């Protein structure tokens, strides 16, 4: 069956200031998580969901992302000549799927909403997915949340479906938080969102359901973004544009990730280390070795 959505925006323009000096000259999205740079997981998740037109919204010092996804016939030919099957296997992602990559640059740091708005012409009158380039989904099938959300989006004719995850109450100030009527929804079922607030001050969050880096939008989001004034930190917040959609009476839904589909990110060192460790532990080639090492190490701690 043809995918109802083909276009996806992947914002990767953030400066990575919380990851200095590791991100002084390289994008945070290129930090390795196990054997791959973080953003490769995101692209593979999108390809698995047959989202084949990928616009990466980059910025200064982000050129290595473009190089990473560029096919490199000379390198492949040299590896073939040398009979280096292992390296060829590791570079298979370059030939995977029918994905086309597009790039645009956000040259001023005006926020996530501003970055997404740069995709307006690319998306046109289609629906689109937004996947934050520093956030990974760990699951038996990492494309499951997006595929479920796309199906729900089509059924509901929604203006937006937002993946959310449960976070501890003391962490709500780090995320966009959604409000719903009544109790938290069952995982994997859309529930109407009545409000959404970007990083509410401690103690003021309307729930513990945090925006989890994957969104589906109708083109209405671009009109809402155009009308969104700078908010938190003087930046145009995607969350504020979603709140505007809700105020306009547009249908906006949350999609709670089940416990076996987890979001990870490389936005700060704490979450980066956690992400690296969990993905290394789950690595099909090196996971066993890492587990043995950590078990032995745990005795020394
Ligand atoms: C962004 C969004 C926030 C969301 C978070 C994780 O924040 O603005 O609403 O909860 O990603 O998906 P950031 O982590 O870029 O500060």
Q: Which residues have CB under 6 Å of ligand 1?
A: 112, 132, 135, 175-176, 198, 210-213, 238-239, 267
Atom of ligand 1 nearest to the CA of 212: 12
Atom of ligand 1 nearest to the CA of 14: 15
Whether residue 31 contacts residue 273, with contact meaning beta carbons closer than 8 Å, is answered with: no
Atom of ligand 1 nearest to the CA of 135: 12
Which residues, 6 or more positions from 227, have their beta carbon under 8 angstroms from its beta carbon?
241, 244
Give me the CATH code for the 7-298 domain, please. Answer: 3.90.550.10
Going from the C-alpha of 102 to that of each of 54, 66, 279, the distances in angstroms are: 6, 9, 28
The alpha carbon of 271 and the centre of ligand 1 are apart by a number of angstroms equal to 13
Going from the C-alpha of 162 to that of each of 32, 109, 171, 193, 199, the distances in angstroms are: 27, 23, 19, 9, 16
Whole-angstrom Cα distance, residue 60 to residue 101?
A: 18
Question: In the chain, helix, strand, coil percent, each to 5?
Answer: 40, 25, 40
Q: Which of 164, 176, 231, 233 to mutate to test the pocket of ligand 1 (most atoms within 8 A of CB)?
A: 176
Task: Give pLDDT, residue 94.
Answer: 82
Going from the C-alpha of 251 to that of each of 11, 20, 227, 244, 292, the distances in angstroms are: 24, 40, 18, 11, 49
230: buried, middle or exposed (CB in 10 Å: 19+, 13-18, 0-12)? Answer: middle
For the question of whether the overall pTM of this predicted structure is more than 0.75, the answer is: yes
Whole-angstrom Cα distance, residue 90 to residue 44?
A: 13
Q: Which of 106, 145, 193, 211 to mutate to test the pocket of ligand 1 (most atoms within 8 A of CB)?
A: 211
Nearest residue by C-alpha to atom 5 in ligand 1: 175
Range 79-110 burial, b when 16+ CB lie within 10 A, else e: beeeeeeeeeeeeeeeeeeebebebbebeebb
Nearest residue by C-alpha to atom 8 in ligand 1: 176
Atom of ligand 1 nearest to the CA of 211: 10
149: buried, middle or exposed (CB in 10 Å: 19+, 13-18, 0-12)? Answer: buried
Task: Give pLDDT, residue 1.
Answer: 57
The alpha carbon of 298 and the centre of ligand 1 are apart by a number of angstroms equal to 33
The alpha carbon of 112 and the centre of ligand 1 are apart by a number of angstroms equal to 8
Atom of ligand 1 nearest to the CA of 237: 8
Whole-angstrom Cα distance, residue 121 to residue 162?
A: 22
Whether residue 227 has a cis bond before it, omega within 30° of 0? no
The alpha carbon of 248 and the centre of ligand 1 are apart by a number of angstroms equal to 23
Helical ranges in the chain per DSSP H: 38-48, 63-68, 73-82, 85-90, 112-117, 120-123, 144-156, 220-226, 238-247, 269-281, 287-298
How many Å is the Cα radius of gyration of the chain?
19
How many C-beta atoms lie closer than 10 Å to residue 65's C-beta? Answer: 25
- Spatial CA neighbour of 53 closest among 43, 61, 63: 43
Each residue's pLDDT, cut to its tens digit, for the chain (301 residues) gives 567 899 999 999 888 899 999 999 999 999 999 999 999 999 999 999 999 999 999 998 899 999 999 988 899 999 999 999 989 888 888 876 678 999 999 999 999 999 999 999 999 999 999 999 999 999 999 999 999 999 999 999 999 999 999 999 999 999 999 999 988 888 989 999 999 999 999 999 999 999 999 999 999 999 999 999 998 889 999 999 999 999 999 999 999 999 999 999 999 999 999 999 999 999 999 999 999 999 999 988 8
Q: What are phi and psi of 70, to 5 degrees?
A: -80, 135
The alpha carbon of 176 and the centre of ligand 1 are apart by a number of angstroms equal to 6
- Spatial CA neighbour of 215 closest among 186, 190, 235: 190
Q: Which of 179, 213, 256 to mutate to test the pocket of ligand 1 (most atoms within 8 A of CB)?
A: 213
Whole-angstrom Cα distance, residue 247 to residue 225?
A: 13
The alpha carbon of 213 and the centre of ligand 1 are apart by a number of angstroms equal to 7
Whole-angstrom Cα distance, residue 242 to residue 113?
A: 10
Going from the C-alpha of 113 to that of each of 61, 130, 172, 296, the distances in angstroms are: 20, 11, 20, 46
Atom of ligand 1 nearest to the CA of 213: 12
**H/E stretch holding 265:** strand 262-265
Whole-angstrom Cα distance, residue 35 to residue 13?
A: 23
């Amino acid at each position: 069956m043809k995918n109802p959505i083909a276009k996806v925006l992947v914002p990767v323009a953030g400066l990575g200031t919380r990851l200095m000096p590791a991100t002084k000259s390289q994008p945070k999205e290129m930090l390795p998580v196990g054997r791959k740079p973080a953003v490769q997981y995101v692209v593979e998740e999108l390809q698995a969901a047959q989202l084949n037109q990928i616009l990466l919204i980059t910025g200064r010092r982000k050129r290595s992302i473009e190089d990473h996804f560029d096919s490199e016939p000379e390198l492949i030919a040299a590896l073939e000549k040398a009979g280096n099957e292992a390296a060829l296997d590791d570079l298979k992602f370059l030939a995977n799927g029918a994905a086309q990559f597009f790039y645009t640059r956000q040259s001023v740091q005006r926020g996530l909403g501003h970055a997404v708005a740069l995709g307006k012409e690319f998306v046109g009158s289609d629906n689109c997915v937004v996947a934050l380039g520093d956030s990974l989904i760990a699951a038996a099938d990492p494309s499951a949340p997006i595929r479920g959300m796309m199906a729900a989006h089509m059924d509901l004719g929604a203006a937006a479906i937002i993946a959310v995850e449960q976070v501890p109450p003391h962490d709500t100030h780090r995320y966009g938080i959604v409000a719903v009527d009544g109790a938290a929804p069952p995982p994997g079922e859309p529930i109407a969102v009545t409000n959404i607030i970007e990083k509410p001050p401690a103690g003021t969050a309307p729930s513990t359901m945090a925006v989890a880096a994957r969104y589906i939008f109708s083109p209405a989001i671009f009109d809402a973004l155009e009308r969104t004034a700078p908010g938190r930190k003087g930046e145009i917040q995607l969350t504020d544009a979603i709140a505007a959609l809700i105020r306009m009476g547009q249908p906006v839904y949350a999609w709670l990730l089940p416990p076996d589909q987890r979001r990870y990110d490389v936005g700060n060192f704490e979450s980066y280390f956690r992400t690296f460790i969990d993905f290394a532990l789950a690595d099909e080639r090196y996971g066993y070795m890492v587990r043995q090492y950590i078990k032995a190490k745990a005795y020394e701690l």
